Chain A
Amino acid sequence: MQIRDYIIRRLMVLPILIIGTSIIVFSLTRVGGSPIGIYLSHEMSPAEVAEIEARFHLDKPLPVQYVYWVSGVLRGDLGWSGVAAAPVTEIFPNKLAATMELAVAAGLIAVALGIGLGTFAGARRNRLPDHVIRVVAVGGASMPLFWFAILLLIVFWVHLGWFPVGRSDPNIFASIAHPTGLYTLDAILAGSFTALRDAIWHLVLPAVALGYGATAIIARMMRSSLVEELQEDYVDAARAKGLPERLVLRRHARRNALIPTVTVIGLTFGFLLQGTVVAEIVFRWPGLGRWMADSVLRGDQATIMTYVMFTSVLFLMVNLIVDVVYAYLDRRVVLGE
């Protein structure tokens, strides 16, 4: 099957998966507690509780509430976030941009360092750099994110004062327009070096904390794949025909070692998204993860629904992309069979 046909087929199945997911998520969220719990207090009379329920159509049966929710989504109304005291649609884009900026920065660190370190270690198997990188990788894979994050805070925020927490200096942030919501990109578009420096300065600690674990996973996979590939016959053949070791590594072994690594990178995206919750809480990063954590603790169901649905759709899309990239890298893969 052609890649194009495969993508079309997957995209056609996507709406069914999304509707099914939405029904499950909606039902489970409602089972989890009252959607107006954030507003309730024992001081309210039953009539007052009913008044709030009517405000949010919660006096209707569950299927009708679902229809209200779906029709709202189709109109671009995702409900009212009690935690943010604003419509979800108003808050969501900024939070999403903040989280994406963090996840992408962490992802870039993880991919660049992971592949680089993995290649470096794999090519120097059982030598000192390999041992050191393996120790670092084991540390990254096993160290709890919140612990590492607080360690970074103690050293680089409290003692050294090199990096701040939060996303920006409010004055610098307010000095430029934010057409994309991605602070670094907005700073570049505005041509403001001060804003770009501020954005990167604030991004360093959370991105490093979040990216370290993923770096470790990718580096370990890259190293082991490369070690395996370097023992293959085609590598010996390449060496036998006189190719320099550098080209053997770059043109042959590394490309093949990347195939399983790319799969891991796709899965790592999920790891990064999960990690943003912890990283955003510790570093006061105003993204989706922190908003979601607050919402779960305070029972803000409109936000929970939006986040879970968004994450589900994102995962479906990322899986699709990974499958396609996988097929591109490994021509032996036959899509759809």
Chain B
Amino acid sequence: MFRQIFGNPRRLTADYASARSATAYTADGRVQAGVQSHRLNGWSLLAALFLALSLMPAAMAQNVKNPGVLVHAADDEPTTLDPAQVEAGEGGETVILQVYERLLEIAPDSPDLVPALATEVPSVGNGLISADGLTYTFPIRQGVTFHDGSALTAADVKFSWDRVMTMSLPESSADTLNDIVAETRVKDDFTFEVKLQRPSASFLNGAVVAMVSSIVSQDAVEANGGVAAGQPNPFMTTNMVGSGPYKFNAWNRNENILLDINDDYWGDKAKLNVRIEIGSEPDVRVLGLRAGDYDTIETDPSFVSDIEGAEGVSIHTGGLLLEPIHIGFNLNIPEGKLPAEDTIPTDFFHDPRIRQAFNYGFDYNAFLNGPLAGFGDFNPHYIPIGIFGYDTSAPVYAKQDKAKAEALFRETGYWDKGFSVSVITEEANLFADAALVLKDSLEALNPKFRINVLAVAEAVFDDAHAQNPIEYAMWVKNADPFADPHPYLQSYQHPDGEWGEVHGFANGYKDSAKIAKLIDDASVELDPAKRAALYSELQKLLFDDPMWLIAAQEGVVMAYRSWVKGFAMQPLWPRPSLKFALFDK
């Protein structure tokens, strides 16, 4: 918003600078005598002083600000700090990642699993996964204490997982455990055992490292409301008693969350306290970074031009986020519910040629080089780059092919008769941009095509998006991030999965049973090579039978003050994909 009116703040500074230099070189180096009256001299001096002060380089303030504290400017505020209530991708995960620990964690610099509260990563080879793939044994680290001083044992681990499954809050990610865990058991004080309902190739990467599987202090929970089925625990919603490198200090609503270094941490201790500043506008976060008051900020690629080259600011741009931006095709449109301006029949997207034509018609480069400022890539349906199973040889819709789009629309008869369809999206973000690129792409292809972009407030979109069936033919959002391919394919491609049911994929897949079988088989295939081959086949099938238009996989863009040492970002961690305990300044 600000940049549309002001332009780049640095350009504003440059304008000031050029104005100053123009004044300096006029009339033999003298101020234009006679132009200014004596009366104005005072005002001129004031103005000059104001201008000079405003031009003082930020270098004056380049000493490390807020020493001893890492200040992170976050995008939004958590709705809960309880692992048993938090939803995947929600702001609370940012804090849970720092304060709680899981049995295993994802390494900072690779997708490998590393021991955390468990001392070994289970595998068939080390005997911690049974031969039938159903029983997992976790040796629990000894000498770990929670922030309330109680000792962590296998009983706390069992309690934490059972608590999630007992509470089973609808808004939570409890199904991550409910769907796969058959039984939990304490073998001894420091051995925890899990029996699964069926073999799972994604249990460790999908469930064990998820924030919902964080280990909480049994003593703290039982002393503050205990566990009740279907009921949130108000204490745990707003307090945290974990075992991680940070202790929870305070949550000042709409203002900040304060975390203190845990001096009793069993591993490498954090070096800085943390202050998470909540909910600044994106423009203000950028200004705060430039001012040096924020050390790290959450932003998106469209702000790179505002930050690039700013003194004392570094930009981390390696890798890709694991949340592909996708446009959904609804194959389950209820009769008579579409917006009045839509002319498409309810079975419009049942025809795979229509879905292919949309995919060919989208101007991917316009989206990548426009709103994403070049930071991103295209991934095949539907495994993001960076996730196990991603096949570099799989076909990708990455280039607009107008001829193919036209041919497909002609085959279906829509080229001549045209159509009008609405796409709903949140307003003023990358999703709205993707919708607008779709509109421009298809309307430029054929003037008889009309794409109505309904850019609405977040709450309105969430309301529409949460319906089943959805009363719109198309919508734009991003995928939830996962560390394993199975949740992506189960959620976004399986005919009986979350979106398969809502969008009615069974109405449109050429071979629904085959796709379901491939996804199911891959989920229980414990041999990585065979599993990868199954995903490779899936990606080829899904290219021909797309259920989504994947606009792009957004690039990682994280801006931070150059005085932050040890900066590391791992897209497999919940956003903003940072562990503050690794940083110093």
Q: Is B290 an interface residue (CB 8 A)?
A: yes
Chain B residues with CB under 8 A of A42? 465-468, 470, 498-499, 502
Q: Are A158 and B291 in contact (CB under 8 A)?
A: yes
Which of B6, B53, B87, B252 sits near A160, CB closer than 8 Å? B53
Known interface pairs A150-B6, A160-B56. Does A84 touch B291 (Cβ–Cβ under 8 Å)?
Answer: no
Q: Which residues of B (243-276) have their CB < 8 Å from a CB of A?
A: 250, 252-256, 258, 275
Chain A residue at minimal CB-CB distance from B458: A297
Chain A residues with CB under 8 A of B290? 158
- A153-177 CB contact bits vs B (8 Å, 1 = yes)? 1110111110011110010001000
Q: Are B238 and A85 in contact (CB under 8 A)?
A: yes
Which of B13, B79, B171 sits near A52, CB closer than 8 Å? B171
Chain A residues with CB under 8 A of B6? 147, 150
Q: Is B508 an interface residue (CB 8 A)?
A: no
Known interface pairs A44-B170, A159-B58. Does A290 touch B466 (Cβ–Cβ under 8 Å)?
Answer: no
Which of A43, A55, A291 sits near B175, CB closer than 8 Å? A43
Chain A residue at minimal CB-CB distance from B92: A85
Q: Which one of B19-27, B181-189, B281-289, B569-577 contacts A? A: B281-289
Q: Is B370 an interface residue (CB 8 A)?
A: no
Q: How far is the CA of A43 from the CA of B255 in the complex (A)?
A: 31
Q: How far is the CA of A95 from the CA of B250 in the complex (A)?
A: 16
Q: Are B458 and A41 in contact (CB under 8 A)?
A: no
Q: Is A266 an interface residue (CB 8 A)?
A: no
Q: How far is the CA of A94 from the CA of B254 in the complex (A)?
A: 11
Chain A residue at minimal CB-CB distance from B78: A85
Q: Which residues of B (434-474) have their CB < 8 Å from a CB of A?
A: 457-460, 462-463, 465-468, 470
- B22-62 CB contact bits vs A (8 Å, 1 = yes)? 00000000000000000100010000000001111010110
Q: Is A238 an interface residue (CB 8 A)?
A: no
Q: Is B356 an interface residue (CB 8 A)?
A: no
Known interface pairs A84-B254, A150-B2. Does A39 touch B170 (Cβ–Cβ under 8 Å)?
Answer: yes
Chain B residues with CB under 8 A of A34? 463
Q: How far is the CA of A132 from the CA of B253 in the complex (A)?
A: 42
Q: How far is the CA of A153 from the CA of B290 in the complex (A)?
A: 11
Chain A residues with CB under 8 A of B465? 42
Chain A residues with CB under 8 A of B458? 297-298
Chain B residues with CB under 8 A of A159? 13, 53-56, 58
Q: How far is the CA of A107 from the CA of B462 in the complex (A)?
A: 38
Q: Are A40 and B253 in contact (CB under 8 A)?
A: no
Q: Is B80 an interface residue (CB 8 A)?
A: yes
- B interface residue count range (under 10 / 10 to 19 / 20 to 34 / 35 or more): 35 or more
Q: Which one of A222-230, A280-288, A323-331 contacts B? A: A280-288
Q: Is B77 an interface residue (CB 8 A)?
A: yes
Q: Which residues of A (76-111) have their CB < 8 Å from a CB of B?
A: 82-86, 91, 94-95
CB distance from B334 to the nearest CB of A (A): 14
Q: How far is the CA of A65 from the CA of B528 in the complex (A)?
A: 54
Q: Are B254 and A294 in contact (CB under 8 A)?
A: yes
Chain A residues with CB under 8 A of B253? 84-86, 91, 94-95, 286, 291
Q: Which residues of A (33-87) have their CB < 8 Å from a CB of B?
A: 33-34, 37-44, 46, 48-49, 51-52, 55, 82-86
CB distance from A34 to the nearest CB of B (A): 6
Chain B residues with CB under 8 A of A49? 170
Known interface pairs A43-B498, A83-B79, A155-B54. Does A33 touch B463 (Cβ–Cβ under 8 Å)?
Answer: yes
Chain B residues with CB under 8 A of A201? none
- A interface residue count range (under 10 / 10 to 19 / 20 to 34 / 35 or more): 35 or more
Q: Are B459 and A298 in contact (CB under 8 A)?
A: yes
Q: How far is the CA of A153 from the CA of B55 in the complex (A)?
A: 14
Q: Is A7 an interface residue (CB 8 A)?
A: no
Chain B residue at minimal CB-CB distance from A34: B463
Chain B residues with CB under 8 A of A132? 43
Q: Are B238 and A86 in contact (CB under 8 A)?
A: yes
Known interface pairs A38-B462, A84-B254, A297-B459. Does A160 touch B54 (Cβ–Cβ under 8 Å)?
Answer: yes
- A140-158 CB contact bits vs B (8 Å, 1 = yes)? 0000001100100111011
Q: How far is the CA of A128 from the CA of B5 in the complex (A)?
A: 32
Chain A residues with CB under 8 A of B470? 42
Q: Is B277 an interface residue (CB 8 A)?
A: yes
Chain B residues with CB under 8 A of A286? 252-255
Q: Is B237 an interface residue (CB 8 A)?
A: yes
Q: How far is the CA of A161 from the CA of B458 in the complex (A)?
A: 34
Chain B residues with CB under 8 A of A55? 231
Chain B residues with CB under 8 A of A84? 77, 253-254
Q: Which residues of B (316-339) have their CB < 8 Å from a CB of A?
A: none
Q: Are A128 and B39 in contact (CB under 8 A)?
A: yes
Which of B9, B87, B279 sits near A294, CB closer than 8 Å? B279
Q: How far is the CA of A286 from the CA of B278 in the complex (A)?
A: 10
Chain B residues with CB under 8 A of A275? none
Chain A residues with CB under 8 A of B502? 42
Q: Is A308 an interface residue (CB 8 A)?
A: no
Chain A residue at minimal CB-CB distance from B73: A284
Which of A41, A153, A164, A291 sits near B171, CB closer than 8 Å? A41
Chain B residues with CB under 8 A of A165? 280, 284, 288, 293
Q: How far is the CA of A220 from the CA of B279 in the complex (A)?
A: 36
Q: Are B171 and A167 in contact (CB under 8 A)?
A: no
Q: Which residues of A (177-224) have their CB < 8 Å from a CB of B?
A: none
Chain A residue at minimal CB-CB distance from B51: A155
Q: How far is the CA of A61 from the CA of B287 in the complex (A)?
A: 48
Q: Is B131 an interface residue (CB 8 A)?
A: no
Q: How far is the CA of A40 from the CA of B462 in the complex (A)?
A: 8
Q: How far is the CA of A284 from the CA of B539 in the complex (A)?
A: 45
CB distance from B45 to the nearest CB of A (A): 15
Known interface pairs A41-B87, A284-B279. Does A299 touch B170 (Cβ–Cβ under 8 Å)?
Answer: no
Which of B79, B237, B293 sits near A38, CB closer than 8 Å? B79
Q: Is B12 an interface residue (CB 8 A)?
A: yes
Q: Is A296 an interface residue (CB 8 A)?
A: yes
Q: Which residues of B (500-516) have their CB < 8 Å from a CB of A?
A: 502
Chain B residue at minimal CB-CB distance from A174: B250
Q: Which residues of A (279-337) have their CB < 8 Å from a CB of B?
A: 281-282, 284, 286-287, 290-291, 294, 296-299
Q: Are B237 and A153 in contact (CB under 8 A)?
A: no
CB distance from B265 to the nearest CB of A (A): 22
Q: Which residues of B (101-124) have their CB < 8 Å from a CB of A?
A: none
Q: Which residues of B (551-578) have their CB < 8 Å from a CB of A?
A: none
Q: Is B1 an interface residue (CB 8 A)?
A: yes
Known interface pairs A161-B60, A166-B255, A170-B258. Does A38 touch B459 (Cβ–Cβ under 8 Å)?
Answer: yes
Q: Is B149 an interface residue (CB 8 A)?
A: no
Q: Are A158 and B466 in contact (CB under 8 A)?
A: no
Chain B residues with CB under 8 A of A170? 250, 252, 256, 258, 275
Chain A residues with CB under 8 A of B288? 157, 165
Q: How far is the CA of A149 from the CA of B499 in the complex (A)?
A: 43
Chain B residues with CB under 8 A of A158? 9, 58, 287, 290-291
Known interface pairs A161-B60, A165-B288. Does A48 touch B254 (Cβ–Cβ under 8 Å)?
Answer: no
Q: Are A82 and B1 in contact (CB under 8 A)?
A: no
Chain B residue at minimal CB-CB distance from A155: B54
Q: Is B225 an interface residue (CB 8 A)?
A: no
Q: Are A147 and B53 in contact (CB under 8 A)?
A: no
With A41-B466, A85-B237 known, 6 other A-B pairs at CB within 8 A are A41-B87, A52-B171, A85-B253, A159-B54, A282-B281, A299-B459
B interface residues, Cβ below 8 angstroms from A: 1-2, 5-6, 9, 12-13, 39, 43, 53-56, 58, 60-61, 77-81, 87, 170-171, 175, 230-231, 237-238, 250, 252-256, 258, 275, 277, 279-281, 283-284, 287-288, 290-293, 457-460, 462-463, 465-468, 470, 498-499, 502
A interface residues, Cβ below 8 angstroms from B: 33-34, 37-44, 46, 48-49, 51-52, 55, 82-86, 91, 94-95, 128, 132, 146-147, 150, 153-155, 157-161, 164-167, 170, 174, 281-282, 284, 286-287, 290-291, 294, 296-299
Question: When A and B form their complex, which 3 residue pairs have the shortest distance between CB atoms, in order from nearest?
Answer: A299-B459, A48-B170, A40-B466
Q: List 11 A-B contacts (CB under 8 A).
A: A38-B459, A40-B466, A41-B87, A52-B170, A82-B79, A85-B237, A86-B253, A150-B287, A161-B58, A161-B61, A297-B458
